[in-house]
Amino acid sequence: MENTKSEKPWGGRFEQATAASVEAFTESISYDKRLYRYDIEGSKAHAAMLAANKLLSQDELTSIVDGLSAIEARIEEGTFSFKSELEDIHMNIEHALIGAIGPAGAKLHSARSRNDQIALDLRLYLRDQCDRLMALLDDARRAFVVLARKYMGKVMPGYTHLQRAQPVLIAHHMMAYYEMFGRDKERIADCRKRINILPLGTAAMAGTGLPIDREMVAELLHFDAVTANSMDTSGDRDFAIEFVSCCTMIQLHLSRLSEELVIWSSQEFSFVQIADKFCTGSSIMPQKKNPDIPELIRGKSGRVVGSLMSLITLMKGLPLTYNRDLQEDKEPVFDAVDTVSASLAIMAEMLGNLEFNTERMEDATKTGFITATDLADYLVLHDVPFRDAHGIVGRAVASCIEKGCELTDLSLEEMREFSPIIDKTVFAVLSVEGSVNSRKSIGGTASLRVEEAVRTAEKHMGIGE
């Protein structure tokens, strides 16, 4: 039986070295090494604060900062050797620092714990990812505005229950996604506010008895404030759950868009052409052109939803304060970040190469009684109660189905059989163009409203400047 005394930084209380199986099971360096830049940034700020409070000399501070910079350079060059027996990114960097500069490096951990250190690293990381996601969301939103401008005035069927409902402008449909991803950006920006609170200085869970200045560290690291309760801070991952929740909404919206692109690119619809470079073929059917990118984005929504569920389940039963369970927070966060970022980037690129089959889309507005609601509105304007108007139009549609024709195929005399109020002005109302341009309410699909929306978006996104 191995009796070698533990050499871990926390090993003073232990008589035996950690089993190799335990080291393999508990290590996190294999995935949290991506936090190295934030761990070093936080350590430099912490060191500066320690020196300002006489817990480090200026020479020690210089040695620490220079040593950390050298370690960062080695990591970026790929010459740094991460060791699983050192468990995590914090201990790998601290071990290397002590090896490089000696006792000064061992002073760096004064007034902090790995508990508040990882909370800091994760917040710094997520703050950057918020900024990155907002930029990617803007790229996608810009692509929708460009498509809206390109196809301004062109019509398509709008759907409810995946049944043709009312005619709309293609631009109006594109601007719906502009609004959708705009809300995603607002959510990320709001989430960033709660991420940008400094946890460092709360130590393990009760604060520290050493003289420190948390506000100084917050200023150095550009945090808006410091956390107010050390116990809450130690075990808090609300900010991570909120971030991944925002990611989930983004991916769900990408999935909805992907579903439409898959449907629209089918031969049954033939509404869009996805560029060949974003599609693949079949290994057995030579005629196939498969919309793999939208399908993969749609499929990857399950990963992001899974990451959210993983974090929620992780946190649901944890007592205050820190528990080792929290080591499991990073992989779901990283996977959500990677999946959503990649999906947004390739979607924006694909949208920039999308072509709409406008003739096919316009033809689709000529069947399915798509202006039936306009006939009901026409009757309402002639003082017919809407419920009565609804019944009149329903009977007219039923008659057309029996005859195998559309409402626009009926003569004036046939129309008047359903209501004597109807006159020759009804045919302008029943046209697709008349239907679209009658929807002048704020947020409607009328050309003037959509033009206003696109112009506002172009100005906001800096398009055409």
Mind telling me the catalytic residues? 161, 282
Give the DSSP H/E element, type plus range, for residue 186: helix 170-195
Question: How far apart are the C-alpha atoms of 111 and 154, rounded to whole Å?
Answer: 65
The whole-angstrom distance between residue 59's C-alpha and the CA centroid of its chain comes to 45
Q: Report which of 75, 55, 56 is spatially closest to residue 64, judged by C-alpha positions.
A: 56
How far, in Å, CA of 324 to CA of 321, rounded? 10
Torsion sign across C-alpha atoms 15, 20, 26, 29:
positive
Residue type, 6: S
Tell the residue number behind the tokens 């902090």, with chain if given. Answer: 112
The number of CA neighbours under 13 Å toward the Cβ of 263 is 9
Residue pair 349/293 in contact (Cβ under 8 Å)? The answer is: no
356, containing H or E segment:
strand 355-356
**How far apart are alpha carbons 122 and 32 in whole angstroms?**
10
Contact 321, 205 (CB under 8 A): yes
Radius of gyration of the chain (CA): 31
Chain-centroid distance of CA 109 in Å reads 35
Six token digits for residue 104: 């000064």
**DSSP 8-state code for residue 284:** S
For residue 90, which of 126, 39, 42 has the smallest C-alpha distance?
Answer: 39
Q: 316, 327, 325: which is closest to 118 by C-alpha?
A: 327
> From residue 8, how far is each of 95, 130, 203 by CA, in Å?
10, 35, 19
- 399-424 burial, b at 16+ Cβ within 10 Å, e below that, comes to ebeeeeebbeebeeebbeebbeebee
Contacts of 9 (CB under 8 A, 6+ apart): 91, 94, 109
Give the other-Cβ count within 10 Å of 197's Cβ. Answer: 18
Report helix, strand or coil for 273. Answer: strand
Q: Dmax over Cα atoms in the chain, in whole Å?
A: 102
One-character DSSP codes across 214-244: HHHHHHHTT-SEE-S-HHHHHH--HHHHHHH
